[in-house]
Amino acid sequence: MEETQFIWHGGKLIPWKEATVHVMTHALHYGSSVFEGIRVYDTPNGPAYLCLERHLKRFYDSARIYRMTMPFEQDELTRICHQVITANGLKSAYVRPLAFRGYGPITVYGNSDPVEVTVAAFPWGAYLGEDALESGVDVGVSSWTRVAPNTLPTMAKAGGNYLSSQLITMEAHRHGYTEGIGLDASGHLSEGAGENIFVVRDGVLYTPPITAAILPGITRSITIDLAQRLGYEVREESLPRELLYVADEVFMTGTATEIAAIRSVDGLAVGCGKRGPVTEKLQKAFFGLFDGSTEDSQGWLELVES
């Protein structure tokens, strides 16, 4: 990670190295944090966030699910994001708002601990590597199941959920894969450790529904919209694991990952073993949003205000 100059913490911008917390911070012990990841792209009109307001809404929703009282409203956080990008002189960036229960009495609930909010922003390349965009990456289905319904809420982007993601990724790396895929408690496809998943078969796109223990990804919904605009049918339904083995194409979506091609699953080549034509068309439409070649008809881009 490339350090930048300032992080917003405790109500103001402070130097990156000074943005620290006490070791008795509640979130360190009990996982009580929620966060977001938002990309800023360098567009012909200037630096622009992709779906800032939707990400911030999900952030506030995540906090609400965990009954965290945010110290200010969403509008204020929008202004803080602008401030962090501008102060760091960033044209493109990954923005990371984080809220967590801080330092206070040591109880499991932590409801009397102050909710602290921080916002960092830094340059970040494609999460699964540049190869993921074109050649595709090798992935494996994990032996770790994603959380069962009514255990930990997957609609919340909470720090604790990423313990499941870490187990899935660790196992994937141990087997030489770039990323791991989780199945839900009923054995159906769920998502990657940090990405949503799509399967293409006979020209139709399939992706697991939000009841499959997935984070309802914002890139997932952008991809569904772009695919429909390109004339593809998209089905959100429960999917068997073996669909991965007979797919024409598989790809993953996420803010950090963008749209990554998958070239093999569990050692079986997907389609012809490289990025397929549907994935390529969707990538072109997606990245076209940032150079103006795809019309931003939904107003997904929001300029950074300085």
Binding site for ligand PMP (CB under 6 A): 37, 165, 191, 194-196, 215, 217-220, 253-255
Task: Please pick, among 12, 17, 91, 157, the residue that the annotation labels catalytic.
Answer: 157
Residue closer to ligand PMP by CB (options 13, 253) is 253
Q: What's the closest the beta carbon of residue 127 comes to ligand PMP, in angstroms?
A: 9
Residue closer to ligand PMP by CB (options 128, 200) is 128
Q: Which residue is nearest to ligand PMP (CB)?
A: 217
Dihedral angle at the C-alpha atoms of 115, 96, 39, 89, nearest 10 degrees?
Answer: 110
> CA quadruple 66, 218, 39, 273: dihedral positive or negative?
positive
Q: Determine whether 91 is an active site residue.
A: no
SS3 at position 247: coil
Q: What's the closest the beta carbon of residue 15 comes to ligand PMP, in angstroms?
A: 27
Strand spans (E) along 71-153: 93-101, 115-122, 137-145
Residue closer to ligand PMP by CB (options 90, 218) is 218
Q: Each residue of 213-222: b (16+ CB within 10 Å) or e?
A: bbbebbbbbb
> With contact defined as beta carbons under 8 Å apart, do 142 and 292 qualify?
no
Q: What's the closest the beta carbon of residue 24 comes to ligand PMP, in angstroms?
A: 27
Q: What's the closest the beta carbon of residue 194 comes to ligand PMP, in angstroms?
A: 4
d(CA 74, CA 281): 35
Distances (CA, A) of 127 to 178, 274, 276: 10, 18, 20
Residue closer to ligand PMP by CB (options 13, 77) is 77
Instruction: Please identify every residue annotated as catalytic.
Output: 157
